[in-house]
Amino acid sequence: MATKYQKAVAIEKENIVVDGVDVSGHWNRMFEQRVIFEYTPELIEKIADIPNAESFANCYQCAKCVAVCPVDVVGNYGPRKLYRYAQTGMDLTEAPELWLCTTCANCLRVCPKEVNMVKIMPAAREQAILDGKFVPAELQQAFENTAKSGNPLGQPQRKRDAWIQSAGVPVPIIKDLGRKVSVLWYVGSYPSYHPRGIDAAAAAARIFNALGIDFAILGKEEKTTRDSQRPGWREGSVRDDDRAKHRDLQ
């Protein structure tokens, strides 16, 4: 795993005279100059060379992004810091920091250089996956579950519509109705399988019934949108198309 850059070493001299002026004191702290060969521009170029991640190289360290980054609120993060990490020895494709960004676009809104993390992060993450680099265990499990079972939770397809039994109201399945409806409701994997998601789906079904909406669900014919895996690839990529084909074969 890549390591972050080492901070400059603080030097505090007991006695120092600058231009004939004695500036000795505990506040007199200087720092070793960082020589140019300690920087790793090739690691910045590695990210910028990935399609859709070119703007990563535009950063000029103004730090406007850090103030609006929601991840920095709970940790040491932000696009400027990611650039600095790459500049000083961190291969982002091998680092956990690559997976912390939520692609909320707050940084893009204030960035004077239009460093687009909404495009950069998915592209870099996809490259990390293709290269067999670090991938969060949760995402890896979601990939494996989807490949095996057709959904990120690894649940059997035959139970896709089992949640309707606890909804407390009729939830029609389009195949059984045999007619068109006003609203064909795509429920999703987590609302179909996860306990908290099932509660939300049941609540929505009760609302639809209370409003008199003519709706139905796909039931067992519903396939995953792979939304939970979306942080791992960029939209419109070959991998995106391949996953769509794989999904249709489930």
The answer to the question of residue 16 being in a domain is: no
Give whole-number Cα distances, 241 to 24, 87, 147, 171, in Å. 66, 33, 15, 32
Considering the domain architecture, whether residues 123 and 170 belong to the same structural domain is answered as: no
Q: Percent of the chain having pLDDT more than 70?
A: 80
Average pLDDT of the residues in 174-192: 93
Residue 112: predicted pLDDT: 95
The answer to the question of residue 3 being in a domain is: no
Q: What are phi and psi of 197, to 5 degrees?
A: -70, -35
Residue 10: predicted pLDDT: 56
Average pLDDT taken over every residue of the chain = 83
The answer to the question of residue 9 being in a domain is: no
Q: How far apart, in whole angstroms, are the C-alpha atoms of residue 34 and residue 7?
A: 10
Render pLDDT for 44-99 as a digit per residue (tens, 0 to 9).
999 999 999 999 999 999 999 999 999 988 778 889 999 999 998 999 999 989 99
Residue 171: predicted pLDDT: 96
Q: Which of 65-69, 116-120, 127-131 has the lowest mean pLDDT?
A: 127-131
Q: Which domain holds residue 207?
A: 154-248
Residue 19: predicted pLDDT: 80
Which of 191, 189, 93, 84 is CA-nearest to residue 133? 93
Render pLDDT for 195-235 as a digit per residue (tens, 0 to 9).
999 999 999 999 999 999 999 999 999 988 877 676 665 55
Q: Is the pLDDT of residue 237 over 50?
A: no
Q: Which residues contact 194 (CB under 8 A, 6 or more apart)?
A: 153
The Cβ-side half-sphere exposure at 61, using a 13 Å CA radius, reads 6
Residue 221: predicted pLDDT: 92
- Structure token pair of residue 42: 């090739």
Can you give the CATH number for the domain in which 71 is found?
1.10.1060.10
Q: Is the pLDDT of residue 136 over 90?
A: no
The separation between CA 77 and the C-alpha centre of its own chain, rounded to angstroms, equals 14
Give whole-number Cα distances, 63 to 8, 26, 80, 82, in Å. 19, 29, 6, 11
Total-model pTM: 0.66
- Structure token pair of residue 126: 């996809």
Considering the domain architecture, whether residues 126 and 65 belong to the same structural domain is answered as: yes
Residue 34: predicted pLDDT: 54
Considering the domain architecture, whether residues 104 and 158 belong to the same structural domain is answered as: no
Q: Which of 39-53, 134-148, 185-199 has the lowest mean pLDDT?
A: 134-148
Domain total for the chain? 2
Q: Percent of the chain having pLDDT more than 90?
A: 53
Considering the domain architecture, whether residues 109 and 167 belong to the same structural domain is answered as: no
